[in-house]
Chains A and B, each alone.
Chain A
Amino acid sequence: MSTTVSQIDEVKTSPWSGGRSPFNVEYGKIMMWFFLLSDAFTFSSLLIAYGSLRFSASVWPGADKVFQSVPGLVDHGYPLVFVGIMTFILIASSVTMVLAVEAGHRNAKKEVVGWMIATIIGGFMFLGCQALEWGHLHHEGFWWGSVPPAEELKKLFTGGSEAVQHMTSQEFANLFFTITGFHGFHVFTGVIINIIITVNVLLGTYEKRGSYLMVEKVGLYWHFVDLVWVFVFTFFYLV
């Protein structure tokens, strides 16, 4: 019998021959990526529904007129200032998250804990701001299924009949609370997951495991929340 291995029986070593991850990424991280892709589809569907309703409306409440208060400080006259603060908080908490991941690469437990706590504080600050924003709009009369009285609505528009103004304001309110609510729910779950991971870091779970990959995975989720906010911010507050 010949000892040479026929070509078909040779063990292949190329990345796609099986036996190892061709993506060179750990399983849980790949699954987090594909979960986020599906979540991106959900958020895009909501935002595209908003876009198409707005495109098909002859008038729409002006964002600079709806959002011009800084809750607790001034009631009107400062368009976009408050949402600017919120955007800054979320971008800053994304940076602290990525710094936690970077510290995890060096297995620096104390630094990971510090940056994770900073991220959690940022998340709570964002949620607090959103609660103030919702409270302010609710106080003005906006909610699911309700809008301010006609003479108040008039100030938000540059044209259109009373009936049309009422209809598009209602659409705006429903979409605003649904989309920012869904995003806020993601921020909330992100904060909860961040707390769980921070507790695990403190308990030394990842130190024993030898890698801080879990921090990277929740980091992906947290950055995704920031990514969605970038789009919500543009399409609700700027456009």
Chain B
Amino acid sequence: MSAESHEVHHDGEHETMTKGRIWKVFFILLGITIIEFIIALVCVPRNILPIQYANPVYIVLTLFKAFYIVAYFMHLKFEKLGLVLSLAIPVIFIVGLILVLTNESHHWVDLRFPL
């Protein structure tokens, strides 16, 4: 088993995470977080960006961070397409639950706060 895993391990080594790339991704993640803080601490309180527009921006920036973590830190970008798809496609269930419950919860307002 160890010989096999060793072989597997070396197959993908031609394109992988180098030290330079690791630090690049770190600074991207740090930069995105700093942008989020600037929005939360400067733009929203001073009304440069109203909160209803800031929220989608936060979510898009969060998804960017998630992409960088999964693709580079978790190495998924360098795996076989079959593995990527078998992990990415089930995420549709999460998207489905978000769509169902955010839509549904708008109707709960009338049930929970009848006054």
Contact = CB atoms under 8 A, between A and B. Distances in A.
Interface of A: 15, 21-26, 30, 33-34, 37, 40-41, 44-45, 48-49, 51-53, 55-58, 64, 79-80, 84, 87-88, 91-92, 94-95, 97-99, 101-102, 105, 164, 209-211, 213, 216, 219-220, 223-224, 226-227, 230-231, 234, 237-239
Q: Which of A26, A30, A45, A238 has the most CB of B within 10 A?
A: A238
Main secondary structure of the interface of A (DSSP, over half): helix
B62 A231 contact: yes
A108 B111 CA distance: 61
Which 4 pairs of residues, A with B, have the shortest CB-CB distance? A56-B108, A52-B105, A55-B105, A52-B101
Given A56-B108, A105-B16, 6 more contacts: A23-B80, A25-B83, A33-B83, A210-B2, A223-B74, A224-B74
B73 A94 contact: yes
Nearest to B83: A23
B46 interface: no
Given A21-B8, A48-B98, A227 B105 contact: no
Contacts of B11: 24
A26 B62 contact: no
Given A24-B80, A102-B19, A234 B58 contact: yes
Contacts of B91: 40
A213 B5 contact: yes
A238 B83 contact: no
Interface in B15-36: 16-19, 22-23, 26, 29-30, 33, 36
B74 A220 contact: yes
A231 B98 contact: no
25 contacts: A23-B83, A24-B79, A25-B83, A30-B83, A33-B83, A37-B87, A37-B90, A45-B97, A51-B105, A55-B105, A55-B106, A55-B109, A56-B105, A56-B107, A95-B26, A99-B22, A164-B113, A223-B69, A223-B74, A224-B74, A227-B69, A227-B70, A230-B69, A238-B39, A239-B59
Contacts of B59: 234, 239
Contacts of A227: 66, 69-70, 74
Given A105-B13, A164-B113, A84 B29 contact: no
Q: Which of B86, B107, B113 has the most CB of A within 10 A?
A: B113
Nearest to B115: A161
Interface residues of B, number: 62
Contacts of B62: 230-231, 234
Interface in B28-78: 29-30, 33, 36-37, 39-41, 45, 55, 58-59, 61-62, 65-66, 69-70, 72-75
A21 B2 CA distance: 15
A25 B79 contact: yes
Contacts of A231: 62, 66
Nearest to B36: A238
Contact of B79 (A23, A56, A87): A23
